[in-house]
Amino acid sequence: MAKNKQKTMAKSNAIAGYLFILPFIIGFILFLVVPLVQSFYMSFCAVTSTNGQGLAYDWIGLKNYHDVFFKDPDYVPRLLDELKNMALFVPGTLIFSFFMAILLNQEFKGRALVRAVYFLPVILSSGIMLGLETNNSLLASMSDSIKQDDSMTTITKTLENILLTGEQASKFFEYVINLVNQVYNIAISSGIQIIIFLSGLQTISPSMYEAAQIEGCTAWESFWKITLPMISSLILVNVIYSIVDFCTKSDSQLMTLISDTLYAKFDYGLTTAMSWVYFAIIMVILGILSFIISRWVYYYD
């Protein structure tokens, strides 16, 4: 009876999950499948306009992909810079959001207000507010002034001179310093991740911590034996979300190059080839990370 009941609950949960994602599946089939197939075909063609009557496709094989890697002087360097920044940005976002979620899960006065404050970056980094932040001349002038003011970077330079001495340790501290320089972007991009981690922390039963405390476990041991395994599946979710969110940012240099190729040169074939190469590389990275992380994800009923 217990096994049958467990199967019934698992089946009902699966049905609820499919119903939850059904609107996205329908929207994907109706609005995205055809444009995706058309853009993939376009990447193998020389696309020309026919005097306002549409587009003409001339099959040229892999020429556009050859041009992406061997003729375009900016694509590969910007792609490598993007991947390097992603390797810096994504772990920093995950660590920051996980740390903040643990703090916001504690009991203290005004917790709801503090949670709302940490969700504000999600609002500020979307829609009109993002445009205001990007095109704000005052913020731009302040940023230029900070860059020109040597006194603002004295602490950073001092830390670099002190810490970056050993050959092996220098790489680690250089990574940390670069991470600190990105703290604003990390904080403003971690709202969703904080909410996901926070929702996972709230599903952990307090009785598990009480039982561990009775058995003599310290807070550090409870973190590694209870907290981290119980939200390990959400770490995988946040890794995927953070990578996709980073790679689709409007201020990305690579995305800017792709947009300029489309709107300035009107080279549809080369633009779609750039996009598909970028998409394929990100999918490979997501597949590798998902395979690695999912091997130690703990699933519980």
- pLDDT per position as a tens digit, 239-258: 999 999 888 887 788 988 99
pLDDT bracket for residue 289 (50, 70, 90):
very high
Q: What is the pLDDT of residue 297?
A: 82
The region, left, alpha or beta by phi > 0 then psi within -120 to 50, assigned to residue 5 is alpha
Q: Which of 136-145, 194-203, 288-297 has the lowest mean pLDDT?
A: 136-145
How far apart are alpha carbons 118 and 109 in whole angstroms?
16
Query: Residues 227-236: what's their mean pLDDT?
Result: 89
pTM above 0.85, yes or no: no
**Residue 87 vs residues 72, 82, 84, 92, 235: alpha-carbon distances, Å:** 24, 9, 5, 9, 16
Average pLDDT, the chain: 80
Q: What is the pLDDT of residue 144?
A: 52
Query: Does the pLDDT value for residue 139 go beyond 60?
Result: no
How far apart are alpha carbons 254 and 42 in whole angstroms?
20
DSSP string, 14-79: HHHHHHHHHHHHHHHHHHTHHHHHHHHHHTTEEEEE-TTS-EEEEE-TTHHHHHHHHT-TTHHHHH
Q: What's 299's DSSP letter?
A: P
Residues 42-100: tens digit of each pLDDT: 999 988 877 767 788 899 999 999 999 998 889 999 999 999 889 888 988 999 899 88
22-125+189-294 has which CATH code?
A: 1.10.3720.10
Q: What is the pLDDT of residue 280?
A: 95
Residues 111-129: tens digit of each pLDDT: 777 777 767 766 665 554 5
Sketch the domain layout of the chain as residue ranges: 22-125+189-294
Q: What percent of the chain has pLDDT over 70?
A: 75
Query: Residues 280-292: what's their mean pLDDT?
Result: 94
Query: Does the pLDDT value for residue 172 go beyond 80?
Result: no
Phi, psi of 54 (to 5 degrees): 125, -160
Query: Does the pLDDT value for residue 151 go beyond 80?
Result: no
